[in-house]
Amino acid sequence: MAQQIKTHHFPNGLTLTVETMPHLRSASWTLLIPAGSATDPSGRSGAAQVLNGMIYRGAGDRDARALSDAVDDLGVQRGGGVDREYMTLSGALLADDLPAALALYADIVQRPQLPVDELDAERALAVQAVQSLQDRPAQRLFQELNRIYFPGNFGRPTLGEIDELGALTPGDLQADHQARFCSDGAILAVAGGVEFEAVKATVEQLFGNWAGKGPSTPAVKLRDEPLYHHLPQDTAQTQIGVAYAGFPLGDPEYYMARLALNVLSGGMGARLFTEVREKRGLVYSVGASPRVLKGVGMVLGYAGTQPERAQETVDVLLGELRRIKAGVSADELERARTGLLAALVMAGEATGSRAGSMAADIFLLGRPRTLDEIRDAVEGVTLAALNEHVSTHAPTNFTVLTLGPAPVEIHSI
């Protein structure tokens, strides 16, 4: 059955997209505000993180507890958070309760109380989140890898910096809310047992008077020079992270790059898992996954292993990434294709995954992709085209970061 997706652009710049999934009684939404941590003012890294906590501390005429209770009364499974490019407010619930939940979130977005006397508590939570990273080596690895892979403000940690969190004032917070929470460019994606017209009427009523245009996110730049860096930490496993350039959504090479990455890291039969784990027993966890940002695509690779095996692991990992240049077999392409298409269908069964994907598509591409469109593109990739792609666009210029007791030697990246 064809998907039922409808999109509407409100005059104030808010885009609404709804996928009706008729046999479901549940629904999910993602509200995307295109002003993430990359737009944190200079010297105020972590501002989006603190703001994201503060908006839930009372909104409209409800204080923090009344607001929380009202959300829970509707059985909302809460989600959302801060990314570099945007903030999201998301939730899932029984479809009948969606209008009531959106009314609460309209208050959270447009009329948060931002109580000054709770700023210290929210800041304390943000500081603790930064401190917790010391006890989460894999998360710390990726924060620091992002910092060196995205030069400038874009690479600042989403969680913020402890000293800059300390400098935030209540005035900053008010101004920051005004600047970021604007209708222009905001995206609301809804999926589940709901009807487009009904959702549109609700949204019009709740968000129709919302206004403003937010800060523009700096264009994303990736480091184009190879780099190796080591962060010393007394851990049981050495954490290995690799970043390299990929392709953005909308690029003619996008689906080929996606398939090539599935050949490397699609399932347990893919190359990285086979060579690093199955044949050599070097790791429990190894893989590479795509990240798509506005106008830019990239790949993040990961392996964790005990220090005495870190050298061999990094050698095999980088060797496999490079080896893709030599080409993939017809069987490998078919497995990669089948894996992508099956994952697509199965993700299409869940409302949360659909709402999140549609919001991201609109942000990156200006419109939601249908499953049919993706299927056609993936099915259209021939072996010859894929092999042409990997020979021309093989992974190169790696940014490698290790975290652990000792560095490794990187011979050529």
Partner 1 sequence: MRYDQATLPNGLQIIGEHNPDAQSVALGFFARTGSRDETPEISGVSHFLEHMMFKGTERRSPEDVNREFDEMGANYNAFTSEENTVYFGAVLPKFQGQLVDLLADMMRPTLRTSDFDTEKKVILEEIAMYKDRPQSVLFDVARETYHHGHPLGNSVLGSTESITALERDRMLEYFERRYAPNNLLLVLTGNYDWTGAVAQATAASATWQPADAPRALSAPEPYAYERMVADPKRDRVYIALVAPAPAAQTAERFAAEVLAAAVGGGEGSRLYWALVHGGLADSVGLWYDSSDGAGAFYTYASCSPERVQEVLQIIRATLETAQRDGLSEDELARARRKIASGLMLGAETPMGRLTAVGFDWVYRKAVMPLNEVADHYLAVTPTEVAKLLQTQPFATLTVVVLGPLAEATPGL
Helix H or strand E encompassing 314? helix 310-323
Does 338 engage in binding with partner 1 (CB under 8 A)? yes
Does 71 engage in binding with partner 1 (CB under 8 A)? yes
Backbone φ and ψ of 187, nearest 5°: -130, 130
Quote the CA–CA distance of 16 and 32 in Å, as a whole number.
11
* 361 neighbors 249 (Cβ within 8 angstroms): yes
User: If 0-12 CB within 10 Å is exposed, 13-18 middle and 19+ buried, where does residue 111 land?
Assistant: middle
Quote the CA–CA distance of 184 and 188 in Å, as a whole number.
12
Structure tokens at 287: 């893989």
Nearer Cβ to partner 1 (124/326):
124
Residue 182: CB minimum distance to partner 1, A: 26
Interface residue with partner 1 among 77, 216, 289, 391 (CB under 8 A) is: 77
Stretch that binds partner 1, among 2-10, 72-80, 162-170, 214-222 (CB under 8 A): 72-80
Interface residue with partner 1 among 38, 54, 92, 272 (CB under 8 A) is: 92
Residue 249: CB minimum distance to partner 1, A: 22
Stretch that binds partner 1, among 6-14, 60-68, 250-258, 383-391 (CB under 8 A): 60-68
Interface residue with partner 1 among 83, 94, 161, 170 (CB under 8 A) is: 94
* 94 neighbors 27 (Cβ within 8 angstroms): yes
Q: Which string of x and - marks every residue 131-170 that binds partner 1 (by CB under 8 A)?
A: xx-xxxxx--------------------------------
User: If 0-12 CB within 10 Å is exposed, 13-18 middle and 19+ buried, where does residue 398 land?
Assistant: buried
What is the end-to-end Cα distance of the chain in Å, rounded?
47
Region at 250 (left for phi over 0; alpha for psi -120 to 50; beta for the rest): left
Nearer Cβ to partner 1 (305/357):
305
Does 74 engage in binding with partner 1 (CB under 8 A)? yes
* Residues from 309 through 328 that contact partner 1 (CB under 8 A): none
Structure tokens at 14: 């808010």
Count of residues in the chain = 413
Nearer Cβ to partner 1 (9/279):
279
Does 201 engage in binding with partner 1 (CB under 8 A)? no
Residue 226: CB minimum distance to partner 1, A: 27
Interface residue with partner 1 among 43, 61, 65, 198 (CB under 8 A) is: 65
Residue 126: CB minimum distance to partner 1, A: 9
* Residues from 218 through 277 that contact partner 1 (CB under 8 A): 234-237, 266-270, 273-274, 277
Structure tokens at 302: 């990961």
* Residues from 114 through 133 that contact partner 1 (CB under 8 A): 120-125, 128-129, 131-132
Nearer Cβ to partner 1 (9/78):
78
Quote the CA–CA distance of 213 and 278 in Å, as a whole number.
52
Backbone φ and ψ of 253, nearest 5°: -85, -5
* Residues from 266 through 305 that contact partner 1 (CB under 8 A): 266-270, 273-274, 277-285, 304-305
* Residues from 340 through 399 that contact partner 1 (CB under 8 A): 340-343, 345-346, 348-352
Quote the CA–CA distance of 187 and 11 in Å, as a whole number.
13
Residue that the structure tokens 């487009």 belong to: 196
